[in-house]
């Protein structure tokens, strides 16, 4: 199962977050034991007062080359696994995600 799905005017992206990760970075796609893919995002912020969530949104936006306001956490605000809504052309965003993650899938 892919980490993202297309919707009208946006895509939904599943991410697994590592807070207090020392740096802000996207580390590629990973597949869990159930076969579900997540984009792994490491952020230096602690999960306090929404700081890590804001860092996730801005890190993913920067990685995709879009404005941070186009990325929003829609579920999992207090969990490591989150679902993001990324506003924009779903076909273009999906192509960009495929390009950026083409060789990064690991178990």
Residue 64 inside a domain? The answer is yes
81 vs 103: CA distance, rounded Å: 22
In-domain check, residue 106:
no
Q: Give the model's confidence band at 106: pLDDT under 50 very low, under 70 low, under 90 confident, else very high.
A: very low
Q: Is residue 56 part of a domain?
A: yes
pLDDT band at 81 (very low <50, low <70, confident <90, very high): very high
The CATH number covering residue 83 comes to: 3.30.1200.10
Average pLDDT over residues 21-27: 93
pTM beyond 0.75: the answer is yes
For residues 17 and 9, give the distance between their C-alpha atoms in angstroms, rounded to a whole number: 25
Domain extent for 60: 4-101
User: What is the total count of domains within the chain?
Assistant: 1
CA distance 77 to 79: 6
């Amino acid at each position: 199962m892919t980490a993202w799905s297309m919707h009208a005017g946006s895509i939904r992206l599943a991410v697994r977050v590592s807070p207090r990760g020392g740096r802000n970075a996207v580390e590629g796609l990973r597949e869990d034991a159930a076969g579900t893919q997540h984009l792994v995002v490491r952020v230096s912020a602690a999960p306090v007062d929404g700081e890590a969530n804001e860092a996730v949104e801005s890190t993913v936006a920067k990685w995709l080359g879009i404005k941070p306001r186009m990325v929003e956490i829609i579920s999992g605000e207090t969990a490591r696994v989150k679902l993001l809504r990324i506003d924009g052309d779903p076909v273009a965003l999906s192509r960009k995600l495929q390009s950026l993650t083409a060789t990064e899938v690991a178990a």
